[in-house]
Structure 1
């Protein structure tokens, strides 16, 4: 049961896999942290592969600490670990582009 004297804010908790995207809306007391909102949303039960010690979290695409305080209408995002090294991916794309440019000339 909620205390009528506590001001609530609306936030969303989002998580995406290749096969499914979920955004859960919930009302939480002012002063709620990212981690508390994630716990209260139930998303950890729905996606047991989420490990908050490994998955980074953020608000609207900006990495944040789990103890960051949420504001009205924030969207908490749980990020999956990268599959490929970003540096290696950029290098591979650059090599491919250079090769393509050479064959066109």
Structure 2
């Protein structure tokens, strides 16, 4: 058995859970074994993006976990960061211009 962590930041709370799975378990199977989906019913572990230590896992059904991995479950962004920066820059530029 190997020990892992799974983390998920919901809208209103965050969870970090430590659990054990057999050696050779896939990332997706480890997430299901963690029981996190029961705590957050809005999670669809079959389709949500996941990562290990901040790096997205391309194929969580095939990639095995390793001892001490921190599995991260990602949720969709509420706003596009590039769009937010563009709007902030436009607002700052408009504020610098004298009134006409």
How much has 1:54 moved relative to structure 2? 4.1
How much has 1:78 moved relative to structure 2? 0.5
The answer to which of 53-62 and 70-79 deviates more is: 53-62
Would the aligned equivalents of 2:28 and 2:46 in 1 still touch at CA under 8 Å?
no
* TM-score (normalizing by structure 2): 0.83
Which residue is equivalent to 1:95? 90
Which residue, 32, 52, 59 being the options, matches 1:59?
52
Query: Are residues 1:33 and 2:36 paired?
Result: no
Distance across 2 between alignment mates of 1:59 and 1:22: 16
Structure 2 gap ranges (5+): none
Flag the 1:83–1:54 CA change in 2: closer, same or farther, 3 A: farther
RMSD: 1.8
Which residue is equivalent to 1:4? none
Structure 1 gap ranges (5+): 1-7
Cα deviation, 1:60-80, whole Å, max 9, x if unaligned, reads: 111103122111110101011
Give the count of matched residue pairs.
96
